[in-house]
A and B are shown apart, each in its own frame.
Chain A
Amino acid sequence: MTGVLIQLAIPLVLIVAAVGGRIAHRRRGAHIERRWADVAHINLSPRPTLPGLDEPRHGELVVGSVVMGADYIRQVVGAWRNVVGGEIRSFTPVLDQARAESSLRMLEAANAKGAVGVVNARFEAVRINNNASELLSYGTLVS
Chain B
Amino acid sequence: MQLVNTETIPGWNITEVKGLVSGNTIRAKHLGRDIGAAFKNIAGGELKAYTELLAESRAEATSRMVAEAQTLGASAIVNVRFTTSTVAGGAAEMYAYGTAVVAVPAP
A: which residues have CB within 8 A of B? Answer: 13-14, 17-18, 20-21, 24-25, 28, 48, 55-61, 63, 65-72, 74-75, 94, 98, 101, 119-120, 122, 124, 126-132, 134, 136, 138-140, 142
Produce 1/0 per residue, B42-66, CB < 8 A to A.
1111111011001100100000000
Residue in B10, B12, B45, B50 whose beta carbon sits within 8 Å of that of A24 in the complex: B45
Total chain B interface residues with beta-carbon distance under 8 A:
35
Tell me, rounded to whole Å, the shortest Cβ–Cβ distance linking B39 to chain A: 8
A-B contact pairs, 11 of them (CB 8 A): A14-B42, A63-B58, A63-B82, A65-B58, A67-B47, A68-B46, A69-B41, A69-B46, A70-B44, A120-B6, A122-B81
**In the complex the two chains form, is B7's CB within 8 Å of A48's CB?**
yes
B: which residues have CB within 8 A of A? Answer: 2-12, 37, 40-48, 50-51, 54-55, 58, 80-86, 90, 92
With a CB–CB cut-off of 8 A, which chain A residues contact B81? Answer: 122
Count: A-B pairs, CB below 8 Å: 127
**In the complex the two chains form, is A67's CB within 8 Å of B46's CB?**
yes
Question: Which residue on chain B has the smallest CB distance to residue A143?
Answer: B10
Residue in A58, A122, A131 whose beta carbon sits within 8 Å of that of B41 in the complex: A131
A96 to B37, CA, bound (A): 21
With a CB–CB cut-off of 8 A, which chain A residues contact B50? Answer: 67, 128, 132, 134
Tell me whether A56 and B42 are in contact in the complex, defined as CB-CB below 8 angstroms, given that A124-B82, A132-B37, A140-B5 are known contacts.
Answer: no
Question: Which residue on chain B has the smallest CB distance to residue A102?
Answer: B51
